[in-house]
Structure 1
Amino acid sequence: MSLPQPVPPSWKDLGKSSNDLLGKDYHFNGTSLEVKTSTPSNVTFKVEGNRDSKSSHVTGNLEGKYSDKGHGLTITQAWTTHNALRTQIELENQIAKGLKLETTTNFHLEKNTKSVLLGAAYKQPGLHSRAVLDVFKGPTFTADAVVGRDGFLFGAEASYNVTEGRVSKYSAAGGFSAPEYAVTLHCLSNFSTFAASYYHRVSPDVEAGAKAVYDTNATSPSVALEVGTKAYLDSAAFIKAKINNAGILAVGYTQALRPGVKASFGLALDTQRLNDAGPSGPAHKVGAQFVFEA
Structure 2
Amino acid sequence: MKKSTLLHLRIPFSFFLLPVFLLALSVSYTVNTVNLLLAFIILHFLVYPASNGYNSYFDKDEKSIGGLKHPPKVTKELYWVSLVLDGLGLVLSFLISMEFLLMILIYGLISKAYSHPSIRLKKFPIMGWLAAGIFQGYFTFLLSFIAINDLMIHDTLEWSTQIPGILSTLLLLGSYPMTQIYQHDEDAKRGDTTISQKLGILGTFHFTAISFSISTVGFLYYFIAYYSFEVAIIFAAAMMPVLLFFGRWYLRVRKDSKAANFESTMRLNLISSLMLNGFFVFLWLS
TM-score by length of 2: 0.26
TM-score by length of 1: 0.26
Which is bigger in relative contact order (C-alpha 8 A, separation at least 6)? 2
Q: Of the two, which has the highest radius of gyration?
A: 1
